[in-house]
Structure formats: structure tokens, C-alpha cells
């Protein structure tokens, strides 16, 4: 993967509202934007993280049975919508456009092997998380955006990787003039704790809205929003 498209500058440590790069530095990762050309190269690694979440009964898009092809398509299918990392932000953003981020361990950090659902080793084991920012598809919502596909390898949990990715997404949304951002997540999940800690506001709870991987029950989904022009 090309080592460019770093997001934001690093302010002095201890600032009240740390940027994504300050958070990333503490988490020992670098956060980068991804190009359409890079997606097929890293999709196997991201699919391995999806498989990890499925194995831990974390609600992650699919139910059993599902295939590696299904998982790879989850990422490869967005390539036509990806905004090139070198694009200069402007308003309105491309309708339905996506900015994809990954968190990569610093070269000095030890990596753990990455294995997909078929038992194959994948490359890019240094990638430990990803998230997508998607802009609204219709003109009357050009100022809106949504958090999509937040993934963090659970073996690296507790380091602030998810917080760094979310902050990078918020920064990018502001650059494009997006002032209202939304997301949904499973109630009482680690994701919900992350969003609350980052100042997101709960909009409401929809009971029995999604299945976990084994379809053993219908779980509640929580909807959150953040007005990015309030900060």
C-alpha cells in the first residue's frame, strides 16, 4: 500500500480536542486514505477481520452461512464510489461518494498473523482497522454523511484505534462541508461505547432490528448522530 494520504497534522500532546493523528500516534498506528486501486489488495485482510468478528458473535453484516466471496465483495464493491485520496475537498461532495480509511501499525510495532475464513494467510497484517465515510446521495442532503463499516481487529482493542479512525472520519467530513453525520450500531456493543465517548448523541433505539451471526435472536440497533459544526 502506498504510504501517503496521511490525515491531519499533529498538535501538541494534551490538546483538548486531539486530532486523528495525535490519537493515532498514541495508538501506535498511522491512519491513511485508500484509493480504488488499493482496495482489492487489502480486501482479504479486511475480510479476515470480518471473519474474526463473526467468530466472536459480533454483528458484522452477515449471518451464517456466508462465503469468502461474500466478504470480499463487501469491500470490492465500493471501488467505483471511492473518492481519490488526492481529491481536493469541496462542497457539495460527490453524491454517494465514499472516503475509506485504514489504520496501519507503525513499522516498529509487532504484527499478528492474519487468516481468512478458509484458513489462508493474508497479506497486510499491519492493517488493524478501517472505516468508511459516505456522503448523502441526494442534493437535499448534501451536508449529511454516514459512518460505514467500522472495523477494528479485536486483538488490538483498547489502544484507541477506533477513536482515531472515527476522528479522521469527522475531520474529513468537515473538509467536504458535511455538518451532520449519522451511524447505527448494535445496542450495548463496544461500538456504542466508542461513539458515546466521542461525543455522539443517541437518536433512538429500534428493537429487534438485526440478527447476530447465528440468527439466535433479533437484536436492537441504536442510531447516533453528531453535528460536526458544533465543535
Residue 109 pLDDT level (bands cut at 50, 70, 90): very high
pLDDT digits (tens, 9 = 90+) for 190-200: 999 999 999 99
Is pLDDT of 205 > 90?
A: yes
Residue 86 burial (CB count, 10 A): 9
Angle of helix 68-76 relative to helix 39-55, nearest 10 degrees, comes to 130
Q: Which residues contact 48 (CB under 8 A, 6 or more apart)?
A: 114, 115, 116, 117, 122
Its pTM stands at 0.92
CB neighbour class for 63 (10 Å; exposed up to 12, middle 13-18, buried from 19): middle
The domain defined by 20-178 carries CATH number 3.10.20.600: no
How far, in Å, are 39, 114, 115, 188 from residue 191 at the CA level? 24, 22, 23, 8
Residue 5 pLDDT level (bands cut at 50, 70, 90): low
pLDDT digits (tens, 9 = 90+) for 137-187: 999 999 999 999 999 999 999 999 999 999 999 999 999 999 999 999 999
pLDDT digits (tens, 9 = 90+) for 28-84: 999 999 999 999 999 999 999 999 999 999 988 899 999 999 999 999 999 999 999
Which three three-digit cell numbers place residue 82? 471511492
Q: What is the 3-state secondary structure (H, E, C) of 27-85?
A: HCEEEEECCCCCHHHHHHHHHHHHHHHHHCCCCCCCCCCCCHHHHHHHHHCCHHHECCC
Amino acid at each position: 500500500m502506498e504510504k501517503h494520504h496521511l490525515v491531519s497534522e499533529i498538535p501538541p500532546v494534551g490538546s483538548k480536542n486531539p486530532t486523528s493523528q495525535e490519537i493515532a500516534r498514541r495508538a501506535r498506528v498511522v491512519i491513511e486514505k485508500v484509493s480504488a486501486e488499493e482496495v482489492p489488495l487489502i480486501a482479504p485482510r479486511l475480510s479476515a477481520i470480518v471473519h474474526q468478528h463473526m467468530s466472536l458473535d459480533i454483528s458484522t453484516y452477515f449471518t451464517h452461512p456466508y462465503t469468502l466471496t461474500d466478504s470480499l465483495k463487501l469491500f470490492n464493491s465500493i471501488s467505483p464510489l471511492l473518492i481519490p485520496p488526492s481529491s481536493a475537498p469541496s462542497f457539495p461532495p460527490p453524491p454517494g461518494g465514499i472516503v475509506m480509511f485504514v489504520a496501519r501499525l507503525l513499522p516498529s510495532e509487532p504484527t499478528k498473523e492474519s487468516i481468512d475464513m478458509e484458513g489462508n494467510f493474508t497479506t497486510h497484517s499491519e492493517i488493524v482497522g478501517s472505516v468508511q465515510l459516505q456522503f448523502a446521495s441526494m442534493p437535499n442532503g448534501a451536508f449529511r454523511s454516514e459512518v460505514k463499516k467500522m472495523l477494528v481487529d479485536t486483538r488490538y482493542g483498547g489502544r484507541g484505534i477506533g477513536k482515531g479512525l472515527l476522528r479522521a472520519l469527522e475531520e474529513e467530513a468537515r473538509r467536504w462541508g458535511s455538518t451532520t453525520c449519522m451511524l447505527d450500531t448494535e445496542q450495548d456493543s463496544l461500538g456504542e461505547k466508542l461513539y458515546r465517548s466521542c461525543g455522539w448523541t443517541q437518536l433512538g433505539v429500534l428493537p429487534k432490528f438485526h440478527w447476530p451471526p447465528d440468527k439466535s435472536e433479533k437484536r436492537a440497533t441504536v442510531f447516533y448522530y453528531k453535528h460536526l459544526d458544533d465543535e
